[in-house]
Amino acid sequence: MAVITHAFARPETDYTALPTAIQDQFDQLMEEADIAGPATYPGLMATIALLVGLPNGEIRKCACSCYCGVIFDSNRPDAHVIKHGEGYNLGRHQYPTCADRHRETA
Protein backbone atom coordinates (compact mmCIF):
# COMPACT_ATOMS: atom_id res chain seq x y z
CA MET A 1 0.00 0.00 0.00
CA ALA A 2 1.30 3.43 -0.94
CA VAL A 3 1.20 6.26 1.54
CA ILE A 4 0.21 9.60 0.13
CA THR A 5 1.19 12.70 2.00
CA HIS A 6 -0.25 16.14 1.49
CA ALA A 7 2.01 18.74 -0.05
CA PHE A 8 2.83 21.49 2.37
CA ALA A 9 2.24 25.04 1.27
CA ARG A 10 5.48 26.84 0.57
CA PRO A 11 6.43 29.50 3.12
CA GLU A 12 7.59 31.79 0.31
CA THR A 13 7.70 32.12 -3.44
CA ASP A 14 9.95 33.94 -5.91
CA TYR A 15 8.35 36.92 -7.63
CA THR A 16 10.97 36.84 -10.40
CA ALA A 17 10.06 33.23 -11.27
CA LEU A 18 6.37 34.06 -11.77
CA PRO A 19 5.06 34.58 -15.31
CA THR A 20 4.80 38.25 -16.27
CA ALA A 21 1.00 38.16 -16.27
CA ILE A 22 0.99 36.84 -12.68
CA GLN A 23 3.56 39.47 -11.64
CA ASP A 24 1.33 42.18 -13.11
CA GLN A 25 -1.75 40.79 -11.36
CA PHE A 26 0.17 40.50 -8.08
CA ASP A 27 1.35 44.13 -8.35
CA GLN A 28 -2.15 45.37 -9.11
CA LEU A 29 -3.71 43.44 -6.21
CA MET A 30 -1.01 44.65 -3.82
CA GLU A 31 -1.70 48.26 -4.84
CA GLU A 32 -5.41 47.69 -4.21
CA ALA A 33 -4.68 46.05 -0.83
CA ASP A 34 -2.51 48.99 0.19
CA ILE A 35 -5.47 51.38 0.05
CA ALA A 36 -8.30 48.92 0.76
CA GLY A 37 -10.75 49.38 3.57
CA PRO A 38 -11.26 46.85 6.34
CA ALA A 39 -14.11 45.13 4.50
CA THR A 40 -12.12 44.34 1.35
CA TYR A 41 -8.55 43.98 2.65
CA PRO A 42 -8.85 40.39 3.97
CA GLY A 43 -10.33 39.17 0.69
CA LEU A 44 -7.55 40.83 -1.29
CA MET A 45 -4.88 39.19 0.90
CA ALA A 46 -6.58 35.80 0.42
CA THR A 47 -6.69 36.32 -3.36
CA ILE A 48 -3.02 37.34 -3.45
CA ALA A 49 -2.00 34.32 -1.37
CA LEU A 50 -3.90 32.00 -3.68
CA LEU A 51 -2.44 33.68 -6.77
CA VAL A 52 1.16 33.05 -5.66
CA GLY A 53 0.57 29.70 -3.95
CA LEU A 54 1.04 30.74 -0.33
CA PRO A 55 -1.10 30.14 2.73
CA ASN A 56 -3.43 33.01 3.56
CA GLY A 57 -1.65 35.72 5.55
CA GLU A 58 -0.14 39.18 5.39
CA ILE A 59 1.51 38.79 2.01
CA ARG A 60 4.45 41.05 1.18
CA LYS A 61 7.29 41.16 -1.33
CA CYS A 62 10.66 41.58 0.35
CA ALA A 63 11.65 45.24 0.37
CA CYS A 64 15.40 44.58 0.19
CA SER A 65 17.66 46.96 -1.62
CA CYS A 66 19.22 43.85 -3.22
CA TYR A 67 15.83 43.04 -4.82
CA CYS A 68 15.62 39.36 -3.95
CA GLY A 69 11.96 39.09 -5.04
CA VAL A 70 10.82 36.80 -2.21
CA ILE A 71 7.07 36.92 -1.52
CA PHE A 72 6.19 35.80 2.02
CA ASP A 73 3.86 36.20 4.99
CA SER A 74 5.11 39.21 6.93
CA ASN A 75 3.49 37.88 10.12
CA ARG A 76 6.36 35.41 10.45
CA PRO A 77 7.98 36.05 13.81
CA ASP A 78 11.40 36.36 12.16
CA ALA A 79 10.33 38.86 9.48
CA HIS A 80 11.89 42.31 9.80
CA VAL A 81 9.75 45.44 9.61
CA ILE A 82 11.63 48.16 7.75
CA LYS A 83 8.80 50.68 7.86
CA HIS A 84 5.16 50.55 8.97
CA GLY A 85 2.38 51.51 6.55
CA GLU A 86 1.85 55.06 7.87
CA GLY A 87 -1.45 55.90 6.20
CA TYR A 88 -1.50 52.77 4.07
CA ASN A 89 -2.11 49.10 4.83
CA LEU A 90 1.20 47.71 3.62
CA GLY A 91 4.47 48.52 5.27
CA ARG A 92 7.92 47.56 4.01
CA HIS A 93 9.09 44.18 5.28
CA GLN A 94 12.24 42.20 4.80
CA TYR A 95 12.38 38.43 4.38
CA PRO A 96 14.08 36.81 7.40
CA THR A 97 17.05 35.40 5.49
CA CYS A 98 17.73 38.78 3.92
CA ALA A 99 17.42 40.50 7.31
CA ASP A 100 20.01 38.12 8.70
CA ARG A 101 22.39 38.86 5.84
CA HIS A 102 21.87 42.62 5.43
CA ARG A 103 19.30 44.24 7.70
CA GLU A 104 17.63 47.22 6.09
CA THR A 105 16.49 50.36 7.89
CA ALA A 106 13.99 53.03 6.91
pLDDT, one tens digit per residue, over 48-87 is 999 999 999 999 999 988 888 999 999 988 999 999 888 8
φ and ψ of 50, to 5 deg? -65, -40
Considering Cα of 94, then 97, then 98, then 100, what sign does the dihedral take? positive
Alpha carbons 62 and 57: distance in angstroms, whole number: 15
Alpha carbons 4 and 16: distance in angstroms, whole number: 31
Domain-wise residue ranges, the chain: 12-101
Considering Cα of 57, then 61, then 64, then 70, what sign does the dihedral take? positive
pLDDT for residue 5 is more than 80: no
